[in-house]
Structure 1
Amino acid sequence: MALAAGHYVLRPVNCALPHNRLGIAAARGMVAAIMAAGGPTPPGTRVTPVRSGPVRGEWVRAAGVEFGDRAVYFVHGSGFVLCSARTHRGVAARLSRDTGLPVFVLDYRLAPEHLFPAAADDVTAGYRWLLGNGYRAANVVIAGDSAGGHLTMDLLLDNARTAIPQPAGVALFSPLIDLTFALAEHHQRAGTEAMASARIGRRAAELYIAQAPADSPRLRLAVPPGTPLPPLFVQASAAEMLVGDALHLRDMVVAAGGSCELELWPGQVHVFQALPLLVPEAAPALRRAARFLADALASADAPTRERVS
């Protein structure tokens, strides 16, 4: 049902929206409405706004979840242009429920009002803020979707370059990696995309990139051999145009000596994990991601326990 709705309703509307102020506002409203209808915030969720220097966002805690020494850092997606902490509150709350952890959802600055590297800088600042507020890197895991996958990988590569400790693990849903959308275009030609087009995705990315050099290492991501990365877990729909990005990310990380587990779910829409009322597979997929994050935290904590004992 969700795949058909995406193909026959969302994609035509999305492709028709002009990339001007009114068109972007309409797209933001449409995506927010879809997220609210397909993945509403569960009852009992507690939300704590964060305004600390350049860091904006909110802590999201499912019913019964308290603050402790561990946390999830969530980096939302939607083409660097559309979404917010509020649109992803529902999926953050369900991830909080499934992990038993508070989830900090960053509200990074959006394009076209704020150009590259504003969003990437905000994601870096959010991670540094967590580390500066009592969270050890080994007690932090990251989750993100779509363009949030690109921003998360930029953060991990920046951590490696600057010797900042990496988080314990990372789970990404339908990550966008190739901002040229060449991989997406290939899979779109194969008839696999339902909700958007490579052309629209490329135009959205261009609103963020603007006049920045296309070969900037923060835009054209590459993982040098031996780069210290946390274990990654990636889920994507086998029927979406970003399936090639997920495969490319897995291959790139593994070739560099890292660990990346990839799951391709058949017949799903882009970031289906956020739409449990429309997609029955959303809940089990999110639980699998939560289990991976919990295992990553346990593995990161094991050496500490061994030293103490």
Structure 2
Amino acid sequence: MAVTDTEVPTRAAPRALLSAAATRATLGSLTSVIPMNRAGVGFGRTLIAAIMAMGGSMPAGATIIPDEGGEWVLGPGVEFGRRAGYYVHGSAYVICSAKTHRKLVARLSEATGLPMFVVDYRLAPEHRFPAAAQDVEAGYRRLLAQGYAASDIVIGADSAGGHLTCDMLLAHAGDAAFQPAGVVLFSPLIDLTLGLAERQETVRRDPAMSAGAARRMVSLYTRGQDPDHPRLKLDFSAARALPPMLIQVGGCEMLAADARYLDAQLREAGGVSTLEIWPGMVHVFQALPKLAPEATVALRRAANFIADRFSDELQEIG
């Protein structure tokens, strides 16, 4: 598939299958044996930072501006204006940061023309639930306090950032003025018990990580909490009040099950959801354009979704 295409491919390209196999032989082998102690967490953070750096691509002319609670990332030629993006990075609550996601967010900013604020929330095991959730809401409220209307903000998120985003928006489902114009989720984690992912493993093994390894990592954040806590086990019955969501997920990853579940829950509650399953793609492939040319197409589709959301809003005002 050429990167000039704009459609979701119907089958995995040979390069995608090769990348998945290489991921399984390298990262997949390591994540299964990394212990969840101080040394293991440190190694995991270094490893993922290296993968994001090597597989990502920073647009020439992108700008990084440190700010309270995170940083602004502006793609080349992007300037501050009426609208902005808010990005919640993934991490399994443990391993990533605003810095690891700079390249992905810069490319998303370039594609959308929006300045993007990336919240740098506190990580486990140093900071357990609800630290990350508190920081994510504080970062979003900071944009509102700076004068951005929620209807002029779009949220992007990946992996655990997907759960944090849904949690925040559901917690304020009764406040229409709090809801952004739209949400784009890359490989969202929704089931923090990893039960959905575990069942998906019986169909296809995730190249990057097992459900068991992911569960051990997530538990560093949720330890001591009831798994049925309403901020952990999300109730989507009020999802009709949430903004439209675009969900993109790789066909090779275990979180394809979470993506399907989220899409079904949103639709069942009367919400608006678009689900894209990208054949042969691994977890958050949008961050790895050097490994997956499909990443560029996926970001273009995300940008089109965002443009449509603002276009819809203008039509409603008119």
Question: Do both share a fold (TM > 0.5)?
Answer: yes
One-letter amino acid of the structure 2 residue matched with residue 278 of structure 1? L
CA distance in 1, matches of 2:311, 2:269: 24
The residue aligned with 1:207 is 220
The residue aligned with 1:179 is 192
The residue aligned with 1:274 is 287
The count of corresponding residues between Structure 1 and Structure 2 is: 301
CA distance in 1, matches of 2:40, 2:101: 21
Moved more, 15-24 or 217-226: 217-226
The residue aligned with 2:310 is 297
Equivalent residue for 2:41, pick from 8, 21, 24:
24
SS at match of 2:248: strand
Counterpart contact for 1:225–1:255, Cα < 8 Å: no
CA distance in 1, matches of 2:84, 2:19: 31
Counterpart contact for 2:90–2:161, Cα < 8 Å: yes
Unaligned runs of 5+ in 2: 1-17
* 1:102 Cα offset (Å): 0.3
* 1:227 Cα offset (Å): 3.8
Report whether the alignment pairs 1:219 with 2:232: yes
SS at match of 1:105: strand
* 1:280 Cα offset (Å): 1.1
Moved more, 32-41 or 220-229: 220-229
SS at match of 1:192: coil
The residue aligned with 2:82 is 69
One-letter amino acid of the structure 2 residue matched with residue 284 of structure 1? V
Counterpart contact for 1:138–1:301, Cα < 8 Å: no
Equivalent residue for 2:125, pick from 103, 112, 123:
112
Q: Which 4+ runs in 1 deviate beyond 3 A?
A: 161-164
CA distance in 2, matches of 1:10, 1:267: 16
The residue aligned with 2:99 is 86
The residue aligned with 1:251 is 264
The residue aligned with 2:26 is 9
Counterpart contact for 2:185–2:246, Cα < 8 Å: yes
TM-score by length of 2: 0.92
The residue aligned with 1:126 is 139
Higher RCO, Cα 8 Å, sep 6+: 2
Moved more, 182-191 or 141-150: 182-191
CA distance in 1, matches of 2:274, 2:212: 29
The residue aligned with 2:10 is none
CA distance in 2, matches of 1:162, 1:209: 27
* 1:164 Cα offset (Å): 4.6
CA distance in 1, matches of 2:160, 2:115: 22
One-letter amino acid of the structure 1 residue matched with residue 235 of structure 2? A
SS at match of 1:160: coil
* 1:165 Cα offset (Å): 2.2
The residue aligned with 1:47 is 64
* 1:130 Cα offset (Å): 0.6
Q: RMSD of aligned C-alpha atoms?
A: 1.1
One-letter amino acid of the structure 2 residue matched with residue 38 of structure 1? G
TM-score by length of 1: 0.95
CA distance in 2, matches of 1:62, 1:169: 20
Counterpart contact for 1:74–1:106, Cα < 8 Å: yes
Unaligned runs of 5+ in 1: none
The percentage of counterpart residues that share the same residue type is 52
One-letter amino acid of the structure 2 residue matched with residue 148 of structure 1? G
Counterpart contact for 1:232–1:259, Cα < 8 Å: yes
Moved more, 197-206 or 224-233: 224-233
The residue aligned with 1:287 is 300
* 1:303 Cα offset (Å): 2.4
Cα distance change, pair 208–161 in 1 and its aligned pair in 2 (3 A): farther
Moved more, 294-303 or 266-275: 294-303
One-letter amino acid of the structure 2 residue matched with residue 37 of structure 1? M
CA distance in 1, matches of 2:211, 2:197: 6
CA distance in 2, matches of 1:5, 1:204: 23
One-letter amino acid of the structure 2 residue matched with residue 59 of structure 1? W
CA distance in 1, matches of 2:66, 2:170: 28
One-letter amino acid of the structure 1 residue matched with residue 287 of structure 2? A
Report whether the alignment pairs 1:228 with 2:241: yes
* 1:188 Cα offset (Å): 1.0
* 1:225 Cα offset (Å): 4.6
